[in-house]
Amino acid sequence: MITITNVTPTDIPDLRDMIYALCAHHGDTCARGDADVHAQFIDGPLIGLIARDGDRPVGFATLVTHWRPMNTGDSIDILHLFVIAGRRSQGIGRRLIAAAQSHAQATGAIRLTIGTAPNNASAAQAYRAMGWDEITATAGPRFQISL
């Protein structure tokens, strides 16, 4: 039985392990440890949802709230959505998205967004099939500077 709850301090080691699995899935190496994960998800600005099958963690979603002065409510972005290998295509991602929608509605958000890598056609197809509207407007040039 899959349950989805908000991340609590006792979930941090399991969440960290899945974050590391997400990094590996994308060919990245994670540099954040338990203290950083705790600071972001318990003390900080991120909301974490964790999916469990019994006691076993099987997925997570990271939510971040965006405040915009021109909007009448917040926008919440699903920053990361991850389901462990071997448990994909079993509806866990859909359940995490539904939990994110419930959270967004409960907080009065006016919009929920999610993105995917340009080469992840199956995720894009799944979001379209779930009724998500594709954002096609270009955001314009974006820039960064190392600090």
| R_g over Cα of the chain | 16
Which pLDDT score, from 0 to 100, does residue 144 have?
Answer: 64
pTM, 2 dp: 0.89
Residue 59 burial by Cβ neighbours in a 10 Å radius (0-12, 13-18, 19+): buried
Q: Which CATH number is 2-129 given?
A: 3.40.630.30
Q: 3-state class of 85 per DSSP?
A: coil
39 — phi, psi (to 5°)?
-60, -40
Domain chopping of the chain, boundaries: 2-129
Are the beta carbons of 67 and 74 closer than 8 angstroms?
Answer: yes
Backbone angles phi, psi at 68, to 5 degrees: -130, 125
Q: What is the mean pLDDT of each run of 10 residues along the chain (147 residues)?
A: 96 96 91 93 95 97 90 89 92 95 92 87 88 77 67
Token digits for 100? 């994110």
Q: What pLDDT does residue 26 have?
A: 87
Q: Where do we find the tokens 């990094």?
A: 23
**pLDDT value at residue 13:** 96
What are the residue ranges of helices labelled H in the chain? 12-25, 34-38, 92-106, 121-129
Predicted local distance difference test score (pLDDT) of residue 135 = 82
